Amino acid sequence: MERDIAAPPEIVFAMFADVRLLIRWLGDTAELEPEPGGVFRFTLGDQDACRGRYVELDPPRRVVFTHTAGRGSSTASGPWSVARSPAPTPGTSIQTRSDRSCDMELSASATIDRPAEEVFAFVSDATNNPRWQQGMRSCAWTSPPPIGVGSTYRQEASFLGRPVVTEFEVVDHQPGRSITIQSTSGPLRIRVRRSVTPIDATTSRVDAAIEGEPGGFFRLAGPLVQRMAQRSVTADYRRLEALLDGT
């Protein structure tokens, strides 16, 4: 993963070695001992988002640390390296590399006492998202109707206490049956497929399959992000069920 940052290498390096700077962009609290073998740890709320040890520090060009996220059997770990070089414009080019996959796969479903065509019309219209998706602040189409392949929208949300702005494109649309959206910008590369299946004339089932690859902060928080995202998605579809059953 590569990104240019409009700051000198010394400042960018310090973002991974100085507690005061790290918690401005990553985590709520942190414990850092920036020397080989020293502690690298930050938390989100009452949970360890990352626990590890520094392996190598070469100020201001390179830092390597081990990374374990989560608790118990669901932990995943691996060394992370962050290297810096002069950017094409004044600033710093940062490259991060991990030896483990950060891909996410999530799923959820809901059974709703409404006809399939009504349910599909609701879940395929992004402007309804703030009504049933937790943390969703706003969602607006950026392309004209009707909804179909190539339609785009922009959403503003919060996740783990951080603002997340993402733009999406509809990449598959089977009217009345399924819709697939894919992010085109934002810190989470994500693809969501929602399908609606009639059970009978007045009842239907919604199934969601979500694939994603976190970037930036969310990539570093790895397994914690997946667990919290799955919990959030499951709650969203319970909320969708209650909303549509009650209307």
Length of the chain counted residue by residue: 247
Per-residue pLDDT at 75: 36
What pTM was computed for the model? 0.65
Looking at residue 83, what is its pLDDT? 53
2-98 and 104-245: identical CATH topology: yes
Asked if pLDDT for residue 244 goes beyond 80, the answer is: yes
Choice between 215 and 105, residue whose per-residue pLDDT is larger: 105
Q: How many CB atoms neighbour CB 116 within 10 A? A: 21
From the list 210, 165, 156, the residue with the least C-alpha distance to 184 is 165
What is the mean pLDDT of the segment spanning 64-83?
A: 53
Q: Residue 158 has what pLDDT?
A: 85
Q: Choose among 83, 106, 99, 197: nearest CA to 159.
A: 106
Average pLDDT over residues 186-200: 92
| Assigned fold of 104-245 | Alpha-D-Glucose-1,6-Bisphosphate; Chain A, domain 4 (3.30.530)
Quick check: 100 pLDDT over 60? no
Extract the tokens encoding 245: 């059953």
Which of 25, 76, 16, 9 is CA-nearest to residue 217? 25
- Tens of pLDDT, residues 129-142: 999 999 999 999 99
pLDDT recorded at residue 202: 96
* Domain made up of 2-98: CATH architecture: 2-Layer Sandwich (3.30)
Q: Report pLDDT for 59.
A: 87
Q: Which pLDDT belongs to residue 2?
A: 61
Each residue's pLDDT tens digit, 115-171: 999 999 999 999 999 999 999 999 999 999 999 999 999 999 987 667 889 999 999
Structural domain spans, the chain: 2-98, 104-245
Q: Is 206 exposed, middle or buried (CB count within 10 Å of its CB: 0-12, 13-18, 19+)?
A: buried
> What are phi and psi for residue 124, nearest 5 degrees?
-85, -10
Work out the average pLDDT over 86-110: 67
